[in-house]
Amino acid sequence: MPVEYQEQAVRLVDGLEKAEIARPGYGVEYDYMDPRQVSQTLQTYKVLGLYFAGQINGTTGYEEAAAQGLIAGVNAARRAKGLTDFTVKRSEGYIGVLIDDLTTLGTNEPYRMFTSRAEFRLSMRPDNADARLTLRGFHDAGCVSVTRMQNAKRRLDKLNHAVQYLNDIRKSTDHWSAISGSVPSVVSKGVSGLKFLAHLREPEQKKKFLSHFTEFKDFDAKLQQRVCTEALYSALALVQEQEIRALRKEENLLIPNCFDYAKLNVKLEIREKLAKARPQNIAAATRIQGVTPSALLVLIHRLKSDYGQNPVDIVS
């Protein structure tokens, strides 16, 4: 907007009738290329060795640009050294979701990375980023220092041991209640310590419960909190992990062109999205925004029921 009009607009505000604009506002416009022209390493298909990251790929926002810059930079460096490519899967991190969406679906508006775009967001939490990506960053990408990797591995070993330890101990609800001073509504026999911990609501109850075990004596507050978080998500995370494994196993399963999505026992919105996109296989179906892993498992079951283990690509 021209400066004189900006001044008029500002002076219409009560109390700003005599205001002077030190620096006028300005509009931001930028062009972009179709991000489907780059691979998941962010290397362009047309010019080998050229990597694109940020707004040129149709994104907006600092975090989106930083995520792409990291992947493009790592892969450019690895290519220069003759090393293998590095990518992040959709189930491993939001970086993987962002890049997969851009490179497979493209975008017709500035792309932002919303948590709702991720099918496996339950397992992609800030507290477990080290478990998902730090070790990969060291072994596969070469962008994590030895010290950081060793610290992460030490921390994760302690955490995994603690979670497994609690999960292996099974006592009655009365036994656990006597330790924590709480009686959550869980079954009375054979309750694991991990399951009981997940039902404790108050921080003091959790702290009292964990302090009973010698394994947690040298745990700092952050590590104790992670044990509590793992307990809270343990049951749901197990279900999601099984879904991830099932989808990875069946990602090459073909979907016939004539398949009738209306007969799937899933939400109408999901049926409509699948029918409109007509994905060729399960891997392609996982990239459709809003299609949940549970819905895809229903699809897999129906495909195998109707066509056997390897449905052929039938043209209707």
Closest CA to 63 of 92, 94, 34: 94
Burial class of 101 by CB neighbour count within 10 A (0 to 12, 13 to 18, 19+)? buried
Q: pLDDT (tens digit, 9 = 90+) per residue, 147-177?
A: 999 999 999 999 999 999 999 999 988 889 8
Q: Are 213 and 196 in contact (CB under 8 A)?
A: no
Residue-level pLDDT at 313: 44
Residue-level pLDDT at 80: 96
Alpha helices (H) along 94-250:
94-105, 129, 135-136, 146-168, 173-180, 193-199, 203-211, 221-249
DSSP codes joined into one string, 216-273:
GTT--HHHHHHHHHHHHHHHHHHHHHHHHHHHHHTTT-B--TT--GGGSSS-HHHHHH
Q: Which residue has the tokens 């029921």?
A: 305
Q: Which residue has the tokens 């790592």?
A: 74
pLDDT tens track of the chain, all 316 residues? 889 999 999 999 999 999 999 999 887 778 899 999 999 999 999 999 999 999 999 999 999 999 999 999 999 999 999 999 999 998 899 999 999 989 988 888 899 998 878 877 888 999 999 999 999 999 999 999 999 999 999 999 999 999 999 999 999 888 898 888 876 666 667 789 999 999 888 888 999 999 999 888 888 999 999 999 999 988 787 787 787 788 888 888 899 988 999 989 998 988 998 999 899 899 888 878 778 888 898 999 999 888 875 555 443 3
Residue-level pLDDT at 1: 84
Q: Are 201 and 231 in contact (CB under 8 A)?
A: no
Extract the tokens encoding 89.
Answer: 């899967």
Determine the Cα–Cα distance for residues 15 and 21; give it in Å rounded to an integer.
Answer: 14
Residue-level pLDDT at 38: 96
Residue-level pLDDT at 314: 42
Closest CA to 193 of 221, 165, 174, 220: 165
Closest CA to 224 of 237, 208, 207: 207
Closest CA to 227 of 237, 241, 235, 216: 216
Interaxial angle between packed helices 293-307 and 221-249, expressed in degrees from 0 to 180 and rounded to the nearest 10: 20
Determine the Cα–Cα distance for residues 127 and 65; give it in Å rounded to an integer.
Answer: 22
Determine the Cα–Cα distance for residues 43 and 78; give it in Å rounded to an integer.
Answer: 12
Element holding 298 (H helix, E strand)? helix 293-307
Residue-level pLDDT at 49: 96
Claim: this prediction has a pTM higher than 0.75: no
Q: Which amino acid is at 41?
A: T
Residue-level pLDDT at 186: 64
Residue-level pLDDT at 181: 81
Determine the Cα–Cα distance for residues 44 and 271; give it in Å rounded to an integer.
Answer: 34
Residue-level pLDDT at 188: 62
